[in-house]
Chain A
Amino acid sequence: MSADPEFEQLVNHYYRDLYRFGFSLTGSEADACDLTQETFYVWARKGHQLRNPENVKTWLFTTLHREFLKIWRRRERFPHETINEAAEDLPHVPAACVERLDAQTLFGLLGELDDDYRAVLVLYYVEDLSYKEIADVLAVPLGTVQSRIARAKAQLLRRLTETQLTTEGNK
């Protein structure tokens, strides 16, 4: 058992969210576990440097994302787009379609997106972070975050529609 109740509390509070983020980035349970553990290890070494305790969540997500980038290396940098560039036809997916999917399928569809789209989308959907906090986690400008979310969301919903059509066609 840990002799540090604060650390234990921190782990219990955030490990699920971090794991989910790690899983969305890597698509692998083992890699997501490694990333989550590494994040808390970095916290144990450097967490005391954090001045504002309110930023713990952003700090942890930023660290996990950095660790992910260290391991998987960026093959190419995404250009910094603005939100206007992302204005496309917005797909419409009824919520009932999503309800029929399981989480694994949804993560599978997420996995088909580019790395940067995947990361931003999971933070957008799951973690209740503001756009500014998402930008801090991913170390990209705010406009780029909004643009990526808009594009990524459109891509995901299109894939959802295609999956739904394929499923219904097979019946």
Chain B
Amino acid sequence: MTAQEAKEALWLYRGPVDDADPKFQEALAFARRDPELTKWLHEQRTCFEAIRSKLRDIEPPHALAENIISHRMIPFRYDLNRILQLAAAIVISASITAVAMKLWERKRDRLGQGQETIVTGEVLDMSCYIAYNLSGPEHAKCAGDCIRSGLPVGIKSGDGKVYLLVGNFQAVNAELADYAAKIVTIKGKQSIRNGFTQLQVEEIRKL
């Protein structure tokens, strides 16, 4: 390596930041043996530091960082894998819930078959109640007539649950017509199918 080659190589040398670069190592070793080149390199480095320091004097406007931080837009990151995972999780959860509810309903229906039950509530004329939401003392006469005529009869318990009332394979309309819109207690066997509850009347008690 000649002094000129070393000088050309060291023209880009900045100091410690370039020390690991093998490109400079041979030239630096050469410069250490050449006093004139050492002096030249020292001047280069001083000039470099002076320019660097001047360039670093430029400061951004005061509010720039604050603006960037406070006006930061938070974009939606489209991560297809995450979206697919989320969709799969929703579908699986919904399927499990649906199956569990079906099983629970079946179990509840099975447990409800033939179970001895006592219900206290108002005797309903089911036709008027379901079609027009009619019940209560002001509807007592109409309800009595409907029940007497053979239309379905039911009972609405204090918690709002409605049961269809039947006899043991025979109608109980005649016995219940006089209790239309009145509060009674009925003991019987409960049956549930597809969410619909029926009570096979065994005993009627007027309160």
Contacts and interface: CB of A to CB of B under 8 A. Distances in A.
User: Could you tell me the dominant secondary structure of chain B's interface residues?
Assistant: helix
Given A20-B58, A93-B47, A95-B49, A11 B69 contact: yes
Interface stretch (A50-58, A59-67, A124-132): A124-132
Contacts of A93: 47
Interface string B44-56: 0011111110111
Interface string A5-27: 00110011001100110011000
Nearest to B14: A124
A45 interface: yes
B57 interface: yes
A79 interface: no
Nearest to A24: B55
Contacts, number: 110
Given A36-B68, A95-B47, A128-B17, A48 B77 contact: yes
A87 to B, nearest CB: 6
Given A15-B64, A19-B64, A41 B73 contact: yes
Contact of A98 (B17, B47, B61): B47
B92 interface: no
B93 interface: no
A92 interface: yes
A146 B21 CA distance: 13
Interface residues of A, number: 51
Given A45-B75, A45-B77, A95-B50, A15 B58 contact: no
Nearest to A128: B17
B43 interface: yes
A133 B11 CA distance: 19
A150 B55 contact: no
Interface in A82-134: 87, 90, 92-95, 98-99, 101-104, 106-107, 110, 122, 124-126, 128, 130-131
A125 B55 contact: yes
A1 interface: yes
Interface in A125-170: 125-126, 128, 130-131, 146, 149-150, 153, 156-157
A124 B52 CA distance: 9
A98 B51 contact: yes
B83 interface: no
Most chain-B CB neighbours within 10 Å: which of A24, A48, A93? A93
Contacts of A146: 12
B7 interface: yes
Interface of B: 7-8, 11-12, 14, 17-18, 21, 40, 43, 46-52, 54-61, 64-65, 67-75, 77
Given A7-B69, A7-B72, A37-B71, 18 more contacts: A15-B64, A19-B64, A33-B67, A36-B60, A40-B68, A40-B72, A90-B8, A92-B43, A93-B47, A94-B43, A95-B50, A103-B57, A104-B58, A106-B54, A125-B51, A128-B17, A130-B17, A130-B21
Interface of A: 1-2, 4, 7-8, 11-12, 15-16, 19-20, 23-24, 29, 32-33, 36-37, 40-41, 44-45, 48, 87, 90, 92-95, 98-99, 101-104, 106-107, 110, 122, 124-126, 128, 130-131, 146, 149-150, 153, 156-157
5 contacts: A1-B69, A2-B69, A7-B69, A19-B60, A125-B51
